[in-house]
A and B are shown apart, each in its own frame.
Chain A
Amino acid sequence: MSALPRRVVVAHPSALRKIVTPAQAGAQSPSPRPPATRLPGQASSPRGQGDLPARIFAMALGIAVFIVLWAFIAKFGRIPDPLSVGKEAVKIFSDPFYRNGPNDQGIGWNVLMSLGRVGIGFGLAAAVGIPLGFMIGRFRFLSDMAAPIIALLKPVSPLAWLPIGLLVFKAANPASIYVIFICSLWPMIVNTAVGVRQIPQDYLNVARVLNLSEWKVFTRILFPAVLPYMLTGVRLSIGVAWLVIVAAEMLTGGVGIGFWVWDEWNNLKVDHIIIAIIVIGLVGLVLEQALIFVARKVSHG
């Protein structure tokens, strides 16, 4: 027995994409287990384990080169240079939670509003998607039933659902939440279903020879065996949701980091847009790392 599923918890995103290709959404064939790839930041350099100071130096150098390149481009183009953006950033972050009416609020409020929408949409998607994934994974008939629908809807850009959301909910906020719900749903369903289908027959045989009750089978065998796959789905969903919320808010307006970007574009404050890009990147990074951390914790349970 080589890679047990719980060791695969922290597969690299590039490896995870395998699980969620549309072809497998229908899941006619059991897909290969995600390979136990290394974590980013954990000996992920192509030439194996470098020593830490050298790696920190390389990262610092990369950032420095990036900033120099940016400064160079800024000299000739219209984008603001790193220094002025830095100064502006200090100004913005010295008071991130101000409120001057509904359309002028600090960047902190904007990020929190966006995170709130992602949280609600994502939470609803988990509540629906994970049980659905379990059922689809466990019952062949349901899987075949769901396959064409998932295959058709999964590749659709979540933003295409926005008009439907606006039509149904007649308000921007629930419409964006609804878009997040839709885009988070598929990775959750598909990964949970794949996880259920990947449970080694050995474990199910243990359940059978012990003649365990359905509840015990679920809590002691199905759930722990599927948990790593589920968390992979959760991580993919959060990643997609964070990508999508920015675009959705640009279209719907209100308070939120996506809207903030668009608003600053209308004010022609390009330095603010660059700050927003960096903030969006950092928040996405933190979300991803937090879930990797959770996955790693759970995998040693």
Chain B
Amino acid sequence: MDKYLEVDALGMVFEKRGLRSAVLRDISLAVKRGEFVSLIGHSGCGKSTLLNLLAGLLRPTAGHMLLGNKEIAGPGPERGVVFQNHSLLPWLSCTGNVMLAVERVFGEREPRARLLERTRAALALVGLTDAASKYPDEISGGMKQRVGIARALAMEPKVLLLDEPFGALDALTRAHLQDELLAIVANTGSTVVMVTHDVDEAVLLSDRIVMMTNGPEATIGGILEVGLARPRDRLSLATNARYIECRREVLEFLYQRQARKAA
């Protein structure tokens, strides 16, 4: 059993002006190399908090996390993060935004020409070769998110952390980017942890779906092995019995076992 990313008894308690709010408790999870794992749950269940913990942006108040047998003690470029709101720097072109990450990771070892080559390759991977010199406010939301993915991929991270990467996009663009992500992950063999609230997205992309209980003190309510063969095709999956079964299981978990009390 090669555990690549290992989360052990993780807990997170925020304390603000004497107010204690326990967000996560007793989260244990092992992700294999090359595996695609989704975190799904109702909003406020702390799934984004868990991702931020993995990214190192937050420090856990209990438990620990290991990546490739090394403790995660802070943010680092071996974990590529794609933010929900793309978080591109508006004063840098698409190339500049990706280059910033490439320079950070490879800048000391490789000549500039090689860095540019890496940047170009990452943008090509997400189909943005033509927009390379454009600025973020000159491209569409879907394209911005692709630059975000290119930036994360260009660092050749050990694990890719996606925080609702397609949440802010329209349905058609989202489907398109999901297909692209499927292809990219198939090509690069990346290990991915993705936060989502979209059941179809989770089933389509994931090897396993981690279903989170409602907060406060959210924890893992169940893990679903998707077990669908790859490569996956959106259209043929629509009538696939296993796909429909997975979908039903996640929906049942979210809307029966973890039904939101009327807020």
A-B contact pairs, 24 of them (CB 8 A): A6-B90, A6-B91, A202-B83, A202-B85, A202-B87, A205-B57, A205-B87, A208-B75, A209-B57, A209-B79, A209-B81, A210-B75, A210-B100, A210-B155, A211-B74, A211-B75, A211-B76, A211-B77, A211-B104, A212-B104, A216-B100, A220-B92, A224-B91, A225-B91
Residue of B nearest to A224 (CB): B91
A residues near B81, Cβ cutoff 8 Å:
205, 209
Nearest-Cβ distance from residue A297 to partner chain B, whole angstroms: 13
A residues near B76, Cβ cutoff 8 Å:
209, 211
Q: How far is the CA of A210 from the CA of B91 in the complex (A)?
A: 17
Partner of B85, one of A1, A6, A208, A211: A1
Nearest-Cβ distance from residue B236 to partner chain A, whole angstroms: 36
> Could you list which residues of chain B lie within 8 angstroms of chain A, going by C-beta atoms?
55-57, 74-77, 79-81, 83, 85, 87, 89-92, 100-101, 104, 137, 155
B residues near A72, Cβ cutoff 8 Å:
none
Q: Give residues 103-132 of A contacting B (CB, 8 Å).
A: none
Q: Mark A1-42, 1 if CB is under 8 A from B, else 0.
A: 100101100000000000000000000000000000000000
Contact A210 B137 (CB under 8 A): no
Partner of B87, one of A206, A220, A224, A301: A206
Q: How far is the CA of A212 from the CA of B101 in the complex (A)?
A: 9
Q: How far is the CA of A212 from the CA of B92 in the complex (A)?
A: 16
A141 part of interface (Cβ distance < 8 Å): no
Q: Give residues 195-246 of A contacting B (CB, 8 Å).
A: 202-203, 205-206, 208-212, 216, 220-221, 224-225
Nearest-Cβ distance from residue A133 to partner chain B, whole angstroms: 19
Q: How far is the CA of A158 from the CA of B79 in the complex (A)?
A: 53
Given contacts A1-B85, A211-B74, A211-B76, list 10 more A-B pairs with CB under 8 A: A205-B87, A206-B89, A209-B55, A210-B77, A210-B100, A211-B75, A211-B77, A212-B100, A220-B92, A220-B100
Contact B83 A220 (CB under 8 A): no
Contact A210 B104 (CB under 8 A): yes
A residues near B101, Cβ cutoff 8 Å:
210
What does DSSP make chain A's interface, helix, strand, loop or mixed?
helix
Nearest-Cβ distance from residue A205 to partner chain B, whole angstroms: 6
Contact A4 B87 (CB under 8 A): no
Nearest-Cβ distance from residue B192 to partner chain A, whole angstroms: 15
Nearest-Cβ distance from residue A17 to partner chain B, whole angstroms: 25
A residues near B89, Cβ cutoff 8 Å:
203, 206, 220-221, 224
B residues near A7, Cβ cutoff 8 Å:
137
Q: How far is the CA of A220 from the CA of B97 in the complex (A)?
A: 10
Contact A205 B83 (CB under 8 A): yes
Contact B90 A209 (CB under 8 A): no
Nearest-Cβ distance from residue A9 to partner chain B, whole angstroms: 11
Residue of A nearest to B105 (CB): A210
A residues near B85, Cβ cutoff 8 Å:
1, 202
Residue of A nearest to B101 (CB): A210
B residues near A4, Cβ cutoff 8 Å:
90, 137
Kindly name the residue among A6, A202, A208, A210 whose own CB sees the greatest number of chain B CB atoms within 10 A: A210
B residues near A216, Cβ cutoff 8 Å:
100, 104
Q: How far is the CA of A210 from the CA of B81 in the complex (A)?
A: 9
A residues near B90, Cβ cutoff 8 Å:
4, 6
Residue of B nearest to A203 (CB): B89
